[in-house]
Amino acid sequence: MVIKRILLPFGGNSDVKPIAESAFYLGRLLSAQVRGLLAQRPYPFLATVGEPLSPEMIQFLVEHEQRTRAENFGRAQEMFQDLQARFPHVDAEWIAADGSIRDLVSHSARLADITILGSGSQFEENGWEEIREAALLGSGRPILLVPSTGIGEGSFGTIVIAWKDSIEVARAIAAADPFLMLAKKVYLVTVGENNETEASLQHAENYLQLHFAELRSEILGPSDKSIGETLIGTCEGRGGALLVMGAYSHWRWQERVFGGVSEYVLREARTPVLMAH
């Protein structure tokens, strides 16, 4: 896989500057275009329950919504233009559109090689969850989650691949090829040990060594930590390694209700994460 277009969605009130900077840094590193996207819902018709709103209140609400939308547009566009000036050799374009956020992001992500988003609890609200789900589940393309500290030199020097014999992991590994070319160390890990796990890990190692000869595999034994905690801790312990993993190999509602690796990593990751569904 070759990365030639990076989608950078804007939305909500979270601090997206480290994420946006990371998109431009990655664009420079991979000679890829950065496409900024601000997707906003059209102003909804005011449905009233009980007492109807007065004309004055309706006008106030409409004007407030218009100001908010204008502020979001101005803030996002100014940040994007500032980054264009700071990264003059990166091909970049800016798009703002009104409509269904899910549809706009899904369509744009399908026509990009990767979408860059933020990880952490601040990206669980203000519309970010919808943006993330559209990019991850509605595009067939991978996402790169960036922590609040952003990425820079050395962010892709070490890669940890979370192995599981699943379609989602196979897609994540294929999407990680441009990053594997930048890596100096690559680890293939799985959590929990049994005969099937060991055999599956060995088969995966034999294949991946065709791409990265120095790859090392490791079985992370069971502990009192969850799989998500173990993977995040492993990446932090290896100098902030990039984690490559499949997303939502179970139904998404099961992950949310019972707790799952994907949901945990989306909330808690403190190093870069490449995910594919």
Per-residue pLDDT, 213: 81
Every domain of the chain with CATH number 3.40.50.12370 lies at 158-276
Q: What is the mean pLDDT of residues 199-216?
A: 91
Q: Which residue has the higher pLDDT, 261 or 55?
A: 261
Every domain of the chain with CATH number 3.40.50.620 lies at 5-43+69-144
Residues forming beta bridges with residue 273, ordered by sequence position: 145, 243
Per-residue pLDDT, 72: 84
Q: Which of 148, 157, 156, 171 is nearest to 248 (CA)?
A: 171
Q: Measure the CA–CA gap between 130 and 123, rounded to whole angstroms.
A: 10
Q: Measure the CA–CA gap between 235 and 6, rounded to whole angstroms.
A: 24
Per-residue pLDDT, 211: 87
Q: Which residue has the higher pLDDT, 256 or 19?
A: 19
Q: Show the tokens assigned to 215.
A: 């790859």
- Binning pLDDT at 50, 70 and 90, where does residue 198 land? confident
Amino acid, res. 54: S
- The dihedral built from the CA positions of residue 243, 245, 247 and 251, taken in this order, carries a sign that is negative
Q: Show the tokens assigned to 100.
A: 């269904």
For 57-86, what is each residue's pLDDT tens digit? Answer: 777 777 777 887 888 888 999 999 999 999
Is residue 62 helix, strand or coil? helix
Q: In sequence order, which residues have a C-beta less than 8 Å from that of residue 193 and are 6 or more positions away?
A: 219, 221, 222
Per-residue pLDDT, 231: 94
Q: Show the tokens assigned to 228.
A: 């998500």
- Binning pLDDT at 50, 70 and 90, where does residue 37 land? very high
Per-residue pLDDT, 234: 94
Per-residue pLDDT, 257: 38
For 128-141, what is each residue's pLDDT tens digit? Answer: 889 999 999 999 99
Q: What's the mean pLDDT when you consider all of the chain?
A: 88
Q: What is the mean pLDDT of residues 11-22?
A: 84
Distance in angstroms between the alpha carbons of the first and the last residue of the chain: 16
Ranking 93-97, 195-199, 229-233, 261-265 by mean pLDDT, the lowest is: 195-199
**CATH number, domain 5-43+69-144, options 1.10.3720.10, 3.40.718.10, 3.30.70.20, 3.40.50.620:** 3.40.50.620
Looking at the predicted structure, is the pLDDT value of residue 175 above 70?
A: yes
- Binning pLDDT at 50, 70 and 90, where does residue 254 land? very low
CATH for 158-276 is 3.40.50.12370
- The dihedral built from the CA positions of residue 96, 275, 236 and 211, taken in this order, carries a sign that is negative
- Binning pLDDT at 50, 70 and 90, where does residue 246 land? very high
Q: Which residue has the higher pLDDT, 267 or 37?
A: 37
Per-residue pLDDT, 255: 46
Residues forming beta bridges with residue 216, ordered by sequence position: 187
Strand blocks (E) in 90-241: 92-98, 114-118, 143-146, 158-162, 185-191, 216-220
Q: Which of 13, 15, 33 is nearest to 23 (CA)?
A: 33
Question: Using CB atoms within 10 A of its CB, is residue 264 exposed (0-12), middle (13-18) or buried (19+)?
Answer: middle
Report the percent of the chain where pLDDT is more than 70.
91
